[in-house]
Amino acid sequence: MTATGAAVPGAAQASPGGTLLVEELTDRVVVTLHRPTARNAINAAMVRDLHQVCATLEERPRLLILTGHGGTFAAGADIAELRERGRDQALQGINSRLFDRIARLPMPTLAAVDGYALGGGAELAYACDLRLASPSAVFGNPEPGLGILAAAGACWRLRELLGASVAKQVLLAGRRLAADDAFRLGLVAEVVPAEQLLARAHTLLDRMARSGPLALRLTKLVADASGAHPVTDDLAQAILFESDDKRARMDAFLAGERS
């Protein structure tokens, strides 16, 4: 892995569903949520597009920057779609499974938040490993005001990030965390002017990119481990994957030898 992600120019490509701009660099991917007519609200097409990004990063692990187009991170799940969803869609965990997948990406992720990160937009930022904010950033979970709960991670990630007291102020009392509050509470690493937000995000990733990639990956895995599994499994497998015995046995199988 190089530490030159920001210096390697890459053209941002529109995602298949047209909801993202995706810039693939040597050691990182920069994803811009891009639904300008809906304040980057997360609809089904964006969920599909973000799953595709996850698949790419699972296949070839790299750092990730998530940001939003046009002075908004994301104004939540798409309310027009939410309006039509019923129990079965809720049980599918459409956003919660996506955000869990993002949280479990092999390499560190960073949300660069300019403007509103509300509802599912906030939950997407909470699912990232690090957050940077511009002075206009606002985090909030207004879901109960729409008659629903923040079911894509806020109810437990926010408690982990900020503690139960502040989490309940946000979840139950509709408290919105402006950039300075978010910084003071530790939700964001820094507040930087909007025009410097991406450059600062790249600088943070440059720092991470200088670490051993495997060390970074295992550190993230262990830091997020809530219990013995699956970390012990993964660590054991990582050791075994490097063993001569594994290579010999698999070579033998592929050569047609069956015991």
CB 193 within 8 A of CB 184: no
- State which of positions 22-51 bind ligand COA (CB under 6 A): 38-39, 41
Positive or negative torsion for Cα 228, 99, 202, 176: negative
- Decide: is 151 part of the binding site for ligand COA (CB under 6 A): no
Closest residue by Cα to residue 127 from 110, 149, 144, 106: 110
Q: Which of 143, 153, 191, 202 binds ligand COA (CB under 6 A)?
A: 143
Establish whether 190 is a catalytic residue: no
Identify the active-site residue in 58, 59, 123, 190: 123
Applying CB under 6 A, which of residues 75, 177, 188, 198 lies at the interface with ligand COA? 75
Name residue, tokens 């019923």. Answer: 86
84 is catalytic: no
How do the residues of the chain divide into helix, strand and coil, expressed in percent and rounded to 5? Answer: 50, 15, 35
List the x/- string, 103-142, binding to ligand COA by CB under 6 A.
-------------x-xxx---------------------x
The answer to whether the bond into 213 is cis (omega within 30° of 0) is no
| Count of residues of this chain found to bind ligand COA when the rule CB under 6 A is applied | 16
Residues of the shown chain interacting with ligand COA in the complex, contacts defined by CB under 6 A: 38-39, 41, 75-80, 116, 118-120, 142-143, 146
